[in-house]
């Protein structure tokens, strides 16, 4: 019994340390200029069971109105890359995990996304062919944006997202923010249904598709699962140990529903184990994923 207590205490200790020193899976320059392309590298091994439906990954911009030093408290607000293929020489798709080996991609942060400062993080998420998520989200280091001309919306200042990160390109985000603030003021004045007004206004923004009841709520399926087109070449599976982000043991992105990062049946297996075993697995999980 004493050993079990020790495992629990170690797991809690590691969790508190991990919140302050989280794992970084995307490398981004610490200083980024708005409206200027930047190169980022993704280095992670994502486990979440069967990969046969995995097809692309999406890159989001996450923000925080506060000057946070770690990506734990950032929320995905919009996407910078809607779909980036996994058919890449630096990506290994094994039977039960996806390995990124310094996979490069380029993004541009619009100046009107928000103010300058240490308020930004990139987030990547593997997608399956039905639009659902595979595994946990992968965050970058916090970076400072220069040349920002935007402002924080009312709900952002309260610590909320504007919702619909999967349906909102960052090029249309400023428009959505204006809609959110207008709807807030109307609702505050008792004029109409703020939610309906916000959704209708947001969907009139460039390339924005928001539906509060369906697909834009954190990786909810939007189509049938189908086998993705086979890659012409697939790298050999590497035996090199790399940072692991495990879907079943990880915490879902703060801005999304719990269904977003549900793994396979790992949790039901853990429920049948002894408390000592669960404590041990919790410790290992925290060590692996932070």
Residue 218: its pLDDT value, please? 60
Q: Residue 274's pLDDT is what?
A: 32
Q: Which two tokens stand for residue 98?
A: 């996806």
DSSP character for 170? G
Distance CA 123, CA 275 (A): 34
Phi (first) and psi of residue 186, to 5 degrees: -65, -45
User: Does the 2-163+223-289 domain belong in CATH 3.40.1350.10?
Assistant: no
Cα–Cα nearest to 2, from 270, 275, 269 = 275
N-terminal to C-terminal alpha carbon distance within the chain: 26
SS3 state at 127: strand
pLDDT at 243: 38
Please give the structure tokens belonging to residue 106: 């380029």
- Distance between CA 199 and CA 119 in Å, rounded? 26
- From the number of C-beta atoms within 10 Å of its C-beta (0-12, 13-18, 19+), residue 22 rates as middle
pLDDT, block means (10 residues), the chain with 290 residues:
43 40 87 98 96 95 84 84 95 96 97 96 95 93 97 90 87 95 84 80 93 63 81 50 37 28 26 32 42
Query: Looking at residue 214, what is its pLDDT?
Result: 63
What contacts 189, CB < 8 A, 6 or more positions away?
none
Write out the two tokens for 271: 């429920």
Q: What is the DSSP letter of 41?
A: E
Angle between helices 275-289 and 2-20 in degrees, nearest 10: 20
Specify the pLDDT at position 219. 66
Q: pTM higher than 0.85, yes or no?
A: no
pLDDT of 234 reads 53
Question: Which pLDDT score is estimated for 180?
Answer: 92
Phi, psi of 232 (to 5 degrees): -65, -35
Domain boundaries, the chain: 2-163+223-289
């Amino acid at each position: 019994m004493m050993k079990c207590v020790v495992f629990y205490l170690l797991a809690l200790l590691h969790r508190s340390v991990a919140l302050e020193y989280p794992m970084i899976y995307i490398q981004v320059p610490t200083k980024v200029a708005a409206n200027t392309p930047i190169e980022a590298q993704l280095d992670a091994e994502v486990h979440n069971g069967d990969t046969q439906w995995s097809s692309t990954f999406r890159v989001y911009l996450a923000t925080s109105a506060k000057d946070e030093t770690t990506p734990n408290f950032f929320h995905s607000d919009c996407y910078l890359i809607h779909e980036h293929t996994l058919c890449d020489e630096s990506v290994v798709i094994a039977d039960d995990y996806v390995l990124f080996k310094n996979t490069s991609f380029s993004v541009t942060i619009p100046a009107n996304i928000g103010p300058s400062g240490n308020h930004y993080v990139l987030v990547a998420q593997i997608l399956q062919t039905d639009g659902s998520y595979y595994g946990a989200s992968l965050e970058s280091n916090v970076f400072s944006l220069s040349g920002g001309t935007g402002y924080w919306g009312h709900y952002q200042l309260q610590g909320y997202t504007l919702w619909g990160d999967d349906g909102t390109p960052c090029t249309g985000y400023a428009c959505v923010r204006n809609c959110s603030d207008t709807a807030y003021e109307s609702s505050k004045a008792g004029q109409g249904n703020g939610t309906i007004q916000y959704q209708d206004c947001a969907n009139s923004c460039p390339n924005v598709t928001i539906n509060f009841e369906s697909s834009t709520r954190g990786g909810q399926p939007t189509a049938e699962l189908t086998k993705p087109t086979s890659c012409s070449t697939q790298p050999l599976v590497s035996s090199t140990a790399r940072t692991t982000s495990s879907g079943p043991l990880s915490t879902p992105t703060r801005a999304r529903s719990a269904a977003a990062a549900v793994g396979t049946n790992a949790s039901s297996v853990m429920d049948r184990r002894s408390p000592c075993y669960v404590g041990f697995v919790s410790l290992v999980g925290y060590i692996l994923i932070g």
